[in-house]
């Protein structure tokens, strides 16, 4: 048990450090590039924080830090439902990048390192952390609907800000190229995917909860 606890804490430290560093370095790098192009520093920071990848890695960093510092103490960030929601979000980050974006983006140098950390390393490590260390068997079947609030608010922000500034972080939601009907259809399909994957995650949670139950207590 002590060994498991130590491994859990080590996992939390590793994931938190990678996520924090990747997000902060990406923000600084993007901001420097924006300034070099003659645009404002604030614009560079805001544009970087407008990516679902960055926001979700930031969530991973916050949750893992909270879990490391607070342990089993109950708080919003340490609850199994919150940790599970973040597992869903960061899994989608890696999945969408692999399916839709990797083929059209070939970063080099520091950008390649950050790209790998944000889209590959953090998603894999956090999902593994969720699988092995987050308590199982507590998730309710209505949670996947509640988990849609975050991506829904994100999409609403992107469309509203895009209408005002012309900046859309992802091409599959770019109204200027696709038009509103296609962009909204893509959004609806994306939310449907979130919901289905959320249901799958709850199902896995229930299965793991049953398989890890102490037979002496059943």
Residues 155-165: pLDDT tens digits? 999 999 999 99
| Nearest by Cα to 105 from 84, 120, 86, 121 | 120
Residue 213 belongs to domain spanning: 2-217
Place of tokens 């991506």: 151
Mean pLDDT of 49-62: 97
Q: Looking at the 3D structure of the chain, how many domains does it have?
A: 1
Can you read off the two tokens belonging to residue 89? Answer: 């979000």
* Torsions phi, psi for 74 (to 5 deg): -75, 125
Buried b (16+ CB within 10 A) or exposed e, 199-218: eebbebbbebeeeeeeeeee
pTM for this model (two decimals): 0.92
The string of pLDDT tens digits covering residues 2-34 is 677 889 999 999 999 999 999 999 999 998 888
In angstroms, the Cα distances linking 39 to 6, 47, 51, 93 are 46, 12, 19, 28
């Amino acid at each position: 048990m002590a060994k498991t606890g130590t491994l859990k804490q080590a996992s939390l430290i590793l994931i938190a450090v990678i996520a924090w560093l990747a997000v902060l370095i990406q923000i600084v790098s993007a901001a420097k590039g924006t300034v070099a192009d003659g645009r404002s520093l604030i614009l560079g920071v805001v544009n970087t924080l407008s990516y679902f990848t960055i926001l979700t890695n930031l969530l991973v960093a916050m949750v893992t830090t909270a879990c490391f510092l607070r342990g089993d103490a109950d708080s919003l960030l340490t609850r199994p439902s919150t940790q599970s929601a973040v597992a869903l979000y960061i899994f989608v980050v890696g999945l969408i990048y692999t399916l839709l974006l990797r083929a059209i983006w070939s970063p080099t140098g520091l950008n390649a390192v950050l790209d790998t950390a944000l889209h590959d390393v953090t998603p894999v490590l956090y999902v593994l952390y969720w699988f092995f260390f987050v308590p199982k068997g507590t998730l309710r079947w209505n949670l996947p609907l509640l988990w849609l609030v975050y991506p829904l608010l994100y999409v609403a922000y992107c469309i509203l800000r895009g209408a005002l500034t012309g900046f859309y972080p992802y091409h599959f939601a770019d109204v200027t190229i696709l038009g509103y009907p296609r962009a909204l259809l893509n959004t609806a399909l994306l939310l449907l995917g979130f919901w289905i994957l959320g249901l799958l995650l709850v199902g896995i949670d229930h299965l793991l909860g049953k398989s890890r139950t102490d037979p002496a207590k059943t």
